[in-house]
Chain A
Amino acid sequence: EPEVTQTPSHQVTQMGQEVILRCVPISNHLYFYWYRQILGQKVEFLVSFYNNEISEKSEIFDDQFSVERPDGSNFTLKIRSTKLEDSAMYFCASSGRGILLHVFYNEQFFGPGTRLTVL
């Protein structure tokens, strides 16, 4: 069964360093997402991406964050200068071609996450 994969599973970095989190979405999916979950808190939407551009982004997704689909398979999240408060689990998700209507639902499939620890 196709699945979303993420690497690395755990990333430790020093404050101020740049990190790139990598995701391989399901191959025929068109919509890509990043969410994060700070320990003990809710899963929060960061950004959605379609047709090589950002569709929506949350207030969390500031200038320190960027996303890219560098080739036909990878989807990356870059944090330019990490802060302590960026420590969280980062989930990538992807969904297919369908339109979100009550007669057809376009499920988001989540990867296993990358745990980012900023020291």
Chain B
Amino acid sequence: QKEVEQDPGPLSVPEGAIVSLNCTYSNSAFQYFMWYRQYSRKGPELLMYTYSSGNKEDGRFTAQVDKSSKYISLFIRDSQPSDSATYLCAMTSHRSGAGSYQLTFGKGTKLSVIP
């Protein structure tokens, strides 16, 4: 079983739509969950992170984590053409006192928001 699964899309939505992006994972040691956005020819850029289960909201973006189901989501409200990018989920476990950590990524979902 792959550690992190993410539907690669592509996903195409009209401007203003609500977008739902999802990942499932198998490693119960993961405690930190992140969403990265990657534009063409650029490196991944952190969009949001959450620790453990729950919701987190930042403007038009909401991240949800359900550890019991090993399922994370990113919702984008009022999507804009500038949101067109590849969205990568990533996660890591906690090592007490450690400053460095390795990220385990999903495959990424390519999103296009059509004006």
Contacts and interface: CB of A to CB of B under 8 A. Distances in A.
Do A and B bind?
Answer: yes
B98 A99 contact: yes
Interface stretch (A12-20, A70-78, A80-88, A110-118): A110-118
A116 B74 CA distance: 31
A27 interface: no
- Bin the interface of chain B by size: 20 to 34
A100 B106 contact: no
- Of A41, A43, A44, A105, the most chain B CB neighbours within 10 A belong to A43
A108 interface: yes
Interface string B5-38: 0000000000000000000000000011000100
Contact of A110 (B41, B45, B102, B104): B45
Contact of B100 (A31, A101, A107, A110): A31
The range of chain A's interface size is 20 to 34
B52 interface: yes
Interface of chain B: mostly helix, strand, loop or mixed: loop
A107 B100 CA distance: 10
A112 B99 contact: no
Nearest to B90: A43
A36 to B, nearest CB: 11
B47 to A, nearest CB: 11
Interface string A18-50: 000000000000110101000001111100111
Contacts of B107: 41-42
Interface in B34-83: 36, 41-46, 49, 51-52
Given A42-B105, A45-B104, A100-B94, A91 B99 contact: no
Contact of B99 (A42, A43, A99, A110): A99
